[in-house]
């Protein structure tokens, strides 16, 4: 239809695309540019919530990690692997009850938006549920690489949760690597043929609405 602009989002596509030359937001005293906005503006793309490159110097990605007893063995294996990777700073917070471990890691991620977290319990679900009770935390329980990539690409997850009873060490390492390598608002692999500039624009502009929903939920819980 002449003059018609495509839309993307919930409500039968009633969310209009933002008209902007670029999308900028402050992150850990650095300017982080979304992939879609950077492409349009011709600005070098930076990895959100990961190792930032400022003046040619890469800052390490800080990862805080915790587990309960069921996830301890898997946690230890992933921690050992991550310590071999350049540009990764790992803080192992040890083990505790799953909800205590989840809260401890979630608070650290909540307080420092440049920090990511990883949590391990029996299934990854318990720690994920508790972590997501903290405002600004987006924990994703993942059992395969595709889910890990999508949780970063689409949801900008900042905590990865996995289960020691359902995930092997080899798979966990692959999942952790995929999660760390994936950028937010970037195509999650060549097989994602549904990816488009419209999808990128929608993802880049969704967080004010998500923040509003989150604030309403917090206010309602205080009534």
Q: Which helix (H) or strand (E) holds 220?
A: helix 207-221
Of the residues 46, 121, 172, 180, only one is catalytic, namely: 121
Structure letter (DSSP) for residue 18: P
Report the alpha-carbon distance of residue 150 to residue 46 in Å, rounded: 18
Q: Which of 94, 216, 108 is nearest to 159 (CA)?
A: 108
Structure tokens at 146: 């595709």
Structure tokens at 155: 């949801």
Q: Please report where in the chains the tokens 């949780």 appear, as a residue.
A: 151
Report the alpha-carbon distance of residue 95 to residue 33 in Å, rounded: 36
Strands (E), the chain: 24-27, 30-33, 53-54, 57-58, 61-67, 88-95, 115-121, 139-141, 159-163
Does 142 qualify as catalytic in the annotation? no
Q: Please report where in the chains the tokens 């915790």 appear, as a residue.
A: 66
Query: Which are the catalytic amino acids?
Result: 121
């Amino acid at each position: 239809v002449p003059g018609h602009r495509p839309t993307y989002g919930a409500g039968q596509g009633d969310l209009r695309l933002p008209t902007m030359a670029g999308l900028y937001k402050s992150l850990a005293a650095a300017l982080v540019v979304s992939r879609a906005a950077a492409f349009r503006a011709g600005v070098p793309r930076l990895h959100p919530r990961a190792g930032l490159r400022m003046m040619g110097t890469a800052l390490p990605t800080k990862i805080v990690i915790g587990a309960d007893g069921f996830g301890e063995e898997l946690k230890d294996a992933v921690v050992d692997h991550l310590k071999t990777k350049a540009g990764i700073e790992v803080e192992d917070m040890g083990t505790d009850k799953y909800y205590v471990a989840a809260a401890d890691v979630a608070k650290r991620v909540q307080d420092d938006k440049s920090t990511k977290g990883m949590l391990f319990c029996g299934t990854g679900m318990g720690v994920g549920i508790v972590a997501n009770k903290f405002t600004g935390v987006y924990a994703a329980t993942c059992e395969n690489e595709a889910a890990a990539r999508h949780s970063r690409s689409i949801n900008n997850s900042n905590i990865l949760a996995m289960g020691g009873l359902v995930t092997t060490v080899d798979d966990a390492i692959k999942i952790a690597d995929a999660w760390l390598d994936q950028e937010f608002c970037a195509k999650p692999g060549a097989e994602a043929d549904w990816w488009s500039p419209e999808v990128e624009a929608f993802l880049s502009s969704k967080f004010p609405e998500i923040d509003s929903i989150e604030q309403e939920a917090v206010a309602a819980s205080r009534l």
